[in-house]
Amino acid sequence: MTIAIDHQHDRQRFVAEIEGQECVLEYRLSGNTMTITHTGVPASLGGRGIASQLTRFALDAARSEGWKVIPACSYAIGYIEKHPEYQDLLA
């Protein structure tokens, strides 16, 4: 399942609305460094790969913006460990 993800720059987050529920990846931007602070998917939507798609979308956005990334939430840490193609983004 591919989901539509909206980058809300002003709120420093990526959002997907699925079945009327909000799934988010939140970050803080300091200079050219994105710190991923939270990835949240409601339990009723778990197991569908939504957090993975949000994280990949955020990391691809960081790459296109020229940002470095600090994964401060456990999901983002695990995702980057499993996907070495994003190692070069680490601050």
Interval 6-64: pLDDT, tens: 999 999 999 999 999 999 999 999 999 999 999 999 999 999 999 999 999 999 999 99
- The CATH number of the domain holding residue 34 is 3.40.630.30
Task: Please check the confidence at residue 1 and state whether its pLDDT lies above 80.
Answer: no
The answer as to whether 1 is a domain residue is no
How far out from the chain centre does Cα 61 lie?
Answer: 9
- Whether the model pTM is above 0.85: yes
Residues in the chain: 91
The answer as to whether 19 is a domain residue is yes
pLDDT band at 70 (very low <50, low <70, confident <90, very high): very high
Number of compact structural domains in the chain = 1
Confidence (pLDDT) at 2: 82
The answer as to whether 46 is a domain residue is yes
Structure tokens at 79: 């995702």
Structure tokens at 14: 């990526």
The answer as to whether 15 is a domain residue is yes
Residues 79 and 52 sit within 8 Å (Cβ to Cβ): yes
Question: Where in the sequence is the domain holding 18, given as residue range(s)?
Answer: 6-89
